[in-house]
Amino acid sequence: MNTMPAMKTMPEVLEEAFQAFNTRDLPRLRTTLHVQGVWPDTLGTGGDVVGIEAVMAHFAQLFAMARPDIQLIQVLETTPDSVTVEAQYLVEDPQGNVWSDTRATLIYHLREGLLSGMTIVSGF
């Protein structure tokens, strides 16, 4: 008898990741990310952040300095290993002052049922 849990769909993984990200729940966010993930460095130091530990450190640093919130507006395209979305990306400082409120087009990549990366198409 197979007792392995069913793999989540891309929309389910993305929804869980957004919820964890928006509540700044790092342990829950970690469960949605692939260990070999590659994420863009949204803190502006350039390049990509590679590997789960580096990605988690990146998110921890981001959450320490800002209150980001990403809301899905619409799914533009879905493939077996990616989903392109339009999202509203709000970033506030720790006191709640708006730093930016941007509409972005993002591609989320999936590997082995987990998010393995994000590509910024436009809006950041």
Residue type at 120? I
Res 37: pLDDT:
95
DSSP label of 14 = H
Check which CATH number belongs to the domain holding 104 and give it. 3.10.450.50
Whole-number pLDDT of residue 10? 80
Residue 19 lies in a domain: yes
Stretch 11-17: mean pLDDT: 91
- What pLDDT score does 35 carry? 97
- Phi-psi category of residue 3: left, alpha or beta, with phi > 0 → left and psi -120 to 50 → alpha: alpha
**Residue 19's pLDDT band (boundaries 50, 70, 90)?**
very high
Domain, as residue range, for 52: 10-40+48-122
Structure tokens at 33: 């990310």
Is a pLDDT exceeding 80 seen at residue 1?
Answer: no
Helix (H, G, I), strand (E, B) or coil at 43: coil
Mean pLDDT taken over the chain: 91
Residue 2 included in any domain: no
Residue in the block written with tokens 């709000």? 90
